[in-house]
Structures are given as C-alpha cells and as structure tokens.
Chains A and B, each alone.
Chain A
Amino acid sequence: MAIDIDTARKVAKLARIRVAEGDLPALAGKLSGILGFMEQLNEVDVTGVEPMTSVTPMRLKSRADVVTDGDIQGQVLKNAPDAREGFFAVPKVVE
C-alpha cells in the first residue's frame, strides 16, 4: 500500500517526531517502499494460525508483591534534563 503525504504526516504525528513539511514526500516514498516489501506476507496462508505471543512456551514467573527498593529519588532524577525540587520539570501542560 502506498503511503501518501497525509498519511506520512499523520504517522509522524503519532510517533511524536517532527518532520518538516518539505521532507514528507521523501519520507512517504521510503515508507511505501518498506511497506511494499511487507506485502509479501499476504501470500502466506495463515488460516487457523494463532499469532505468536511468546517465542518460548513458558509461564511467566510471579514474585511476592513486596517493595524491593526505594529511597532512590536522587538516582532516579540524576539523568533528568531538568529536575527541580525533587521532580522532573516539563513545559506547562495544563492551562
């Protein structure tokens, strides 16, 4: 399926990646090429096949619901681009 410029713009928006208007045609072309390659999957008869959820059949383990760490606020914030008064700081989100 060919991706048009509007679809490319929409996908970029959903992916939260800013793409300049002038770059959309090239992006649409590349995405179309990649998705065209995937069209081959339509040749496969998948009737009655369950989509794979886990490559190794194993039960996921559960553990006791207890606190295993904590009191590491400093470490959590250490790499933040903007941390203030013990919080992550971001632009205003509520008017």
Chain B
Amino acid sequence: MSANQWTIATARDALRKGEISAVDLTMSCLTAMDAGDALNAFVWKTPEIALDQARAADERLKGREEAPAMCGIPLGIKDLFCTKGVPSQAASNILRGFKPEYESTVTAQLFGAGAVMLGKLNMDEFAMGSSNETSCYGNAVNPWQRKGSNVQLTPGGSSGGSAAAVAADLCLAATGTDTGGSIRQPAAFTGIVGIKPTYGRVSRWGIVAFASSLDQAGPMTKTVRDAAIMLGAMVGHDPKDSTSADLPVPDFEAALTGDIRGKVIGIPREYRMDGMPEEIEALWQQGIAMLKDAGATVRDISLPHTKYALPAYYVIAPAEASSNLARYDGVRYGHRAALSAGDSITDMYEKTRAEGFGPEVQRRIMVGTYVLSAGFYDAYYNRARKVRALIKRDFETVFAAGVDAILTPATPSAAFGLGEMSDADPIQMYLNDIFTVTVNLAGLPGVAVPVGLDAQGLPLGLQLIGRPWEEAALLNCAHVLESRAGFVAKAEKWW
C-alpha cells in the first residue's frame, strides 16, 4: 500500500514514530494527484506550498509523540475556502482571478496544526448543485464506475472534487461544506465518510457564503476515526463568526469506544419514500440490524414535517443566496464585464453578473429575489421559516422522548451518470437532498457512512443524525455502523 492510500490515523502514527517523513508522504500524494487529472478533482495544485508545509511539519514532528494529530497530513481544500494567495473561486467565473489576502479560519486552524495543502478541489458553483456539474472548471468525475461499464459517473455535489479526491486516494482527507447535503451526498456516492457538524460548531469565517443559516464545513475522510481526528482540528469558537459556538471541544476520537449498548436509534417512517429503490430499503434494514446487534434499541419514530423540508429549503437557501451573492458586483474583486461607451453602473452590474454566474446560480438568485420581494415575502419566505421551525420541533420532540440518534438512507440512489440529469427539471436534481436537507434546516449534526454496494457495484451509504452538539456520540455510533458493515471496497483504478 503506498502512503497516499493511508488513513489519517495510520499516517499520524507513522509520522510520530518517524517511520515516514511528511515530505515523503506529501510526495506520494502529489504523485497520485498528478496521475489523477482524469478525475478533475484538483483544480488548483499547490505543490510548492505543500512541500514547504511538509518540511515545516517534519521539523515539528522530529521524534515528538505530542505533535498535533494533523501535523504532516496532506489534504485537499474545497475551492469554497479562502486560502491566502491561492485562487479561491467557489468554482465560479465571477471570482476568476480572485486570490484572497486572508486565510479562512478552518484552513488557518488546519495549517496551524501542521496539515499540508495539496491544492484546491472542484465543486458545484457556489456550492449550488448535487452533481458537480455546475462548476466553472468542468465536471469532477467519480472514481467508481458501474460493473462492466466505463460510463463516467458524478461524484455528487457540491463537494464533488473533495469526494473524488479522497475516494481515489489523491489525498488523505479533504475539507467539504454542507448546506443541504453537500458533504454527505458526495461521501455516499464515493464510499467515504463525511460529517456535517452542528450549526455553529465550525467557524464559517473565510468560507464563501451560500446560505448563511445553513452552511457548515466538515471533514471528508476514508474512515470514521479520521473524521473524528480531522473534525477536532476544524472546530472551536471563533470571534470572527458571530454564530460560532463558544463551547468546549470534546475529544472526538476518544469517544469512539464502539459501545452503543442501550442507545436508542430512531427510524423515521417518513423517510420511506415512494419509489425508493429496493436496494436502498434493504441497506437501511441491514443498518438497523447492525445497530441492534451492537446492543442499541431501535424505535420507530415520526418526523411529520419531513415532506416539507425540500420546498422550505428551496425558499430559504435561495433567499439567503440572493442576499449573499449581491456582493458580486464587479467592483471590489473578481470579474467585471467589458463595458461599452456610455454604459451606466447598472449596466456594469447586470452584464458582470450575467457573464459571471452560471445558469443554476442565476436561477437561484432570481428565485431568492422573488421570494423576498414585496408582496411575496410573507407568502413564501416567512411561511418557509415557520415550516423550518416545525421541522426543527419534530426533531426536538423525538430527542426529548429519549432518541439518541436517527438512522436514514443518505441518498435516494447510487451515483448517477454525468449528463444524465441535464434535461431533467431542476426539481429532479433537488430531490437528491431529500434525506439530508432536514438536518441543515434543524441545525443538527449528520454523518454519512459507507455500508454496502449496489448490484452494479456502486457504493451506498447510510446517514446517522445526532443531537445538537453531540458529534462525539454520533461519531461513536457511526464507528459501530462502519465496523459492522466492514466496507473496504475501493474503486477499481481506470484513471
């Protein structure tokens, strides 16, 4: 096994013992990254930065068992994170040429702990999409293919580049962000682990904003243990994000005891959708059996407003996006359209935004503009916020009744083909988020865990939803599911 295929936990132990240098580990990933161009996962490569950081990590590591866990660990960083002096475009043409003068809090913390940045990762434009097909860099490609087929599949989205890079061992782990499922759906499509923490657990400062009341960053990793290790380096209070929680940070890895005896796992009946593939239902039943076998109590629960989560989300997220994306006006950064003589400042705004934003982003900005406009604000936006309150109340009710975590499918299908949805109604694409979006609306932590393969040999995942701020217990539950499922399959290398 070459070093780029290692987990964070393996690499950490080897680095601390001096069995490998951070430079050698980084070289191994840089080689894999360069050989992985067909996946279009890395859109900006930063080998000089990586080697500088790796050399610094080696200085810090020298025989020190107490070096931070992330010291010397090579990562990919989603293009949504501002990284100082390195292009940070949110996969949009409107931010072409933008090189931040500052570092996001998450990347600053990771680099402060000694992590190494290999480059920036592909994603849907402004994180709006579920297939990575709205990116200005072109599609990221899933390393997985259907048995006996070379049809290119989506790695999911919006963190599609992150998922593809981790699944293909181009890096040890990657950062992702999740507004409606953008960490968990791509993780499920590529057979990796992804956790969206409780809203407020991770600072949003320096992450290009999509929908500020829903956005959270999290790790995308090969194992649950790695998710626990990397999450520990990403969380914490940040005075620069007013919604960042000032709470003690638990030792997530230490919580992975494997003991979930007596825990109550809720199975929400509303997540059994009409037309859901039988394989997804079967996978869910397997997951239930695994947790039961580990000593958990399984209980049927009801989350009655589930059906309304997607329509509420597709009011609230575009409303916030239309407001957040108003800043792209061609004045302070990014693209400005070429103007004709006599063009006014309004012409400049309109031309710049028409050229800079892709069709899906334009559509969402306009939906948001409409639902916030005079006369419709109450009918759409306020009503959606009331429904959101009810969705959150559904979860509070079951948690108050003693449920510790909730088990659901992560996605309604396995990865689909790139281009397969291009003629479909936008709503068809939105349905990808059906199991994940409730978690963002309620601000809860949710984790996708790979559990099995479908008949075509593609990975399928389950989602566990936890109580607010209880990522540690949630990850322990995910760890049990992961161990029982014993998912070890890897994509067969074709790239």
Q: A and B: real partners?
A: yes
Binding site for B on A (CB under 8 A): 3, 7-8, 11-12, 14-19, 27, 30-31, 33-35, 37-44, 46, 49-56, 58, 60-61, 63, 72, 75-76, 78-82, 88, 90-93
Docked complex Cα distance between A46 and B351 (Å): 41
* Chain B residues within 8 Å of A52, by CB: 385-386, 388-389, 392
Interface residues of B in 327-370 (CB under 8 A from A): 329-336, 339, 343-351, 353-354, 357, 362-363, 365-367, 369-370
A67, chain B: closest CB distance, angstroms? 15
Contact B387–A56 (Cβ < 8 Å): no
Contact A79–B332 (Cβ < 8 Å): yes
> Whose C-beta in chain A lies nearest to the C-beta of B247?
A58
Docked complex Cα distance between A91 and B333 (Å): 16
> Are A82 and B314 CB-contacts (below 8 A) given A17-B362, A40-B308, A44-B305?
no
B231, chain A: closest CB distance, angstroms? 18
* Chain B residues within 8 Å of A79, by CB: 97-101, 332-334
Q: Is B435 an interface residue (CB 8 A)?
A: no
Residue with the greatest number of chain B CB neighbours at <10 A, chosen from A15, A54, A82: A15
> For this complex, into which size category does the number of interface residues on chain B fall?
35 or more
Q: Is B380 an interface residue (CB 8 A)?
A: yes
Contact B345–A91 (Cβ < 8 Å): yes
Contact B363–A31 (Cβ < 8 Å): yes
Residue from B200, B242, B314 in contact with A34 in the complex, judged by beta carbons closer than 8 Å: B314
> Are A81 and B334 CB-contacts (below 8 A) given A17-B353, A51-B386?
yes
Contact A81–B380 (Cβ < 8 Å): no
* Chain B residues within 8 Å of A31, by CB: 363, 366-367, 370
Contact B427–A90 (Cβ < 8 Å): no
* Chain A residues within 8 Å of B200, by CB: 56, 58
Contact A37–B99 (Cβ < 8 Å): no
Extra pairs beyond A38-B314, A46-B387, A55-B442 (15, CB < 8 Å): A7-B370, A14-B369, A15-B353, A16-B326, A17-B365, A19-B354, A30-B426, A37-B427, A49-B389, A58-B243, A60-B243, A72-B101, A79-B97, A79-B334, A81-B335
Contact B345–A90 (Cβ < 8 Å): yes
A33, chain B: closest CB distance, angstroms? 6
Docked complex Cα distance between A36 and B305 (Å): 18
Q: Is B152 an interface residue (CB 8 A)?
A: no
Docked complex Cα distance between A3 and B387 (Å): 23
A85, chain B: closest CB distance, angstroms? 16
Contact A46–B386 (Cβ < 8 Å): yes
* Chain A residues within 8 Å of B308, by CB: 40-41, 43-44
Residue from B312, B326, B331, B442 in contact with A88 in the complex, judged by beta carbons closer than 8 Å: B331
* Chain A residues within 8 Å of B353, by CB: 15-18
Contact A51–B385 (Cβ < 8 Å): yes
* Chain A residues within 8 Å of B312, by CB: 41
Contact B392–A46 (Cβ < 8 Å): no
Docked complex Cα distance between A82 and B314 (Å): 36
Q: Is B269 an interface residue (CB 8 A)?
A: no
* Chain B residues within 8 Å of A42, by CB: 383
> Are A15 and B331 CB-contacts (below 8 A) given A38-B314, A79-B99?
no
Docked complex Cα distance between A92 and B387 (Å): 45
* Chain B residues within 8 Å of A91, by CB: 339, 343-345, 347-348
* Chain A residues within 8 Å of B302, by CB: none
* Chain A residues within 8 Å of B242, by CB: 60-61
Q: List 28 A-B contacts (CB under 8 A).
A: A7-B370, A8-B366, A15-B322, A16-B349, A16-B353, A17-B353, A17-B366, A18-B353, A30-B363, A34-B314, A34-B367, A34-B427, A38-B371, A39-B311, A40-B307, A41-B308, A41-B311, A41-B387, A44-B387, A51-B385, A53-B385, A55-B442, A56-B200, A76-B332, A78-B99, A79-B101, A81-B333, A91-B347
